[in-house]
Amino acid sequence: MAPSIRLSPAARSLFDEPLAIAVQGLGPRQQVTLRTSLRDETGELFQASARYQAGDDGRLDLARCPALPGGSFSGLEPMGLLWALQPQKPFWRLVKRDVQSPFLLQLEVFEGHGERPGRLLAQAQHERAFLRDGVRRVPVREGRIRATLFLPPGEDTFPGIIDIHGFGGGLLEARASLLANHGFATLALAYYQFEDLPQKPKELHLEYFEEAVNYMLQHPQVKGPGVGLLGFSKGAEVSLAMAAFLKNIMAVASLNAPVAATCIPFSYKDKIIPAATSYEHKAKTTSSKFLDYSDVLDDPFQAPGNQSLIPLEKAEAQFLFIVGQDDHVVKIKPLIKSSSVSHGVLFSTIGLIATHSGLDSRQHTQMLDDKTPHLLGEKG
């Protein structure tokens, strides 16, 4: 029997869904290298590889067989060939902008463990999709709101989430589409550098985000009495400010953001939260020729009057803070541990996990899977 790759699901799976990978038809204890490849929407190539040895029966199941040293990872990692994908172009991020089309994953099995790929033994393709059948994608242009609403299948009401991304602007839909697959009515919200929104805002007005909250709560398929917020980087800062000043915010999941305004101030009615002072001269150059800004931001807890702090003590929401300890933009963890939030959960992670630079890792995904549903409202 010629070697072949067996996948489950076979041809298509959701981007956040486990993919079982196995190879059959190999020789007893045969050494092979498995490689995955994926191109993003700009054509940039991402790859990962791992070295394995088949069993006595010529089968190789990544859920039972550990990867040997020498590849992108080692040890028992059933999804390693996906989470270890690295760009061929240094520091390029994997971003999905058109959620209506899947990523195409190429899997290959090569003979041996050489530095160069050996003879090709088997190959397969698999689609990693962002929309489950029946999920509806609805562009939203209501008043000032510029967003996309994703609704789960059916005519029921669903817990509502507003998803807010960080610096860079635009409208990113990938995370919102995946949440809708799991039963949440999710609004991917743009707030600058998109259509007629400001290109370089000097201030972020919370009234705009309040309009988005009201839109969700007035939607016939959004279950009240409030909504949850999911924010990353500056979007998480926005989410924390919304919880402090706006009504009907039930829960906030904050991915790598301090509890203070940075770079762009916030305003709500007659209240201004100025950005924390930053000292550009404290930036350092890394060995990779990138700037390390982790010491640039002034500590708002030591600043006179703490004017840049977001007053989370006013919030009624439940909080989940997820931070990376290797963030080279802001030292997040101390800025959260020093805050006065008593109704929150803090997860800190080692390595480039949920940081401003780098892809979200499997640990980050698992933390969200374990903790987010009860904070944002159980679906159903």
Each residue's pLDDT tens digit, 22-69: 999 999 999 999 999 999 999 999 999 999 999 999 999 999 999 999
In terms of domains, do 26 and 78 share one? yes
In terms of domains, do 96 and 225 share one? no
In terms of domains, do 162 and 266 share one? yes
Through-space distance between the first and last CA atoms of the chain, rounded to whole angstroms: 47
In terms of domains, do 78 and 99 share one? yes
3-class DSSP string for 295-316? CCECCCCCCHHHCCECCHHHCC
pLDDT of residue 331: 66
Strands 120-129 and 12-14: parallel
In terms of domains, do 81 and 111 share one? yes
pLDDT confidence of 333, banded at 50, 70, 90?
A: low
Quickly list H helices, the chain: 80-83, 174-181, 206-218, 234-245, 332-337, 362-376
Q: Which of 66, 101, 129 represents a domain boundary (last residue)? A: 129
Total Cβ atoms within 10 A of residue 330? 26
In terms of domains, do 187 and 158 share one? yes
| pTM of the predicted model as reported, rounded to 2 decimal places | 0.86
Residues 6+ apart with CB under 8 A from 234: 166, 167, 257, 262, 263, 264
pLDDT of residue 189: 98
Each residue's pLDDT tens digit, 154-208: 999 999 999 999 988 999 999 999 999 999 999 999 999 999 999 999 999 999 9
What is the distance between the alpha carbons of residues 149 and 180, in angstroms, rounded to a whole number? 9
Residue 219 domain flag: yes
Residue 157 · residue 221 · CB < 8 Å: yes
In terms of domains, do 175 and 121 share one? no
In terms of domains, do 34 and 167 share one? no
Q: Please give the residue range of the domain that contains residue 186.
A: 136-322
Residue 368 domain flag: no
In terms of domains, do 149 and 125 share one? no
In terms of domains, do 157 and 231 share one? yes
Residue 207 domain flag: yes
What is the distance between the alpha carbons of residues 193 and 190, in angstroms, rounded to a whole number? 8
Phi, psi dihedral angles at 138 (to 5 degrees): -120, 105
What is the distance between the alpha carbons of residues 367 and 114, in angstroms, rounded to a whole number? 36
The mean pLDDT value for 206-235 works out to 97
What is the distance between the alpha carbons of residues 19 and 63, in angstroms, rounded to a whole number? 10
Mean of the per-residue pLDDT values of the chain: 87
Q: Which of 111, 129, 147 represents a domain boundary (last residue)? A: 129
Could you tell me the CATH number of the domain that includes residue 19? 2.60.40.2240
Hey, what are 85's tokens? 């994908």
Tokens 């550098």 correspond to what residue? 193
Could you tell me the CATH number of the domain that includes residue 207? 3.40.50.1820
**Burial (0-12, 13-18, 19+ Cβ within 10 Å), 165:** buried
Q: Which of 129, 162, 179 represents a domain boundary (last residue)? A: 129
Residue 336 domain flag: no
Cα–Cα nearest to 272, from 319, 324, 309, 217: 309
In terms of domains, do 25 and 118 share one? yes
Domain count, the chain: 2
Of 349 and 257, the one with more pLDDT = 257
pLDDT of residue 374: 35
Tokens 């989410």 correspond to what residue? 239
**Burial (0-12, 13-18, 19+ Cβ within 10 Å), 59:** middle
Residue 40 · residue 46 · CB < 8 Å: yes
Residue 344 domain flag: no
Residue 332 domain flag: no
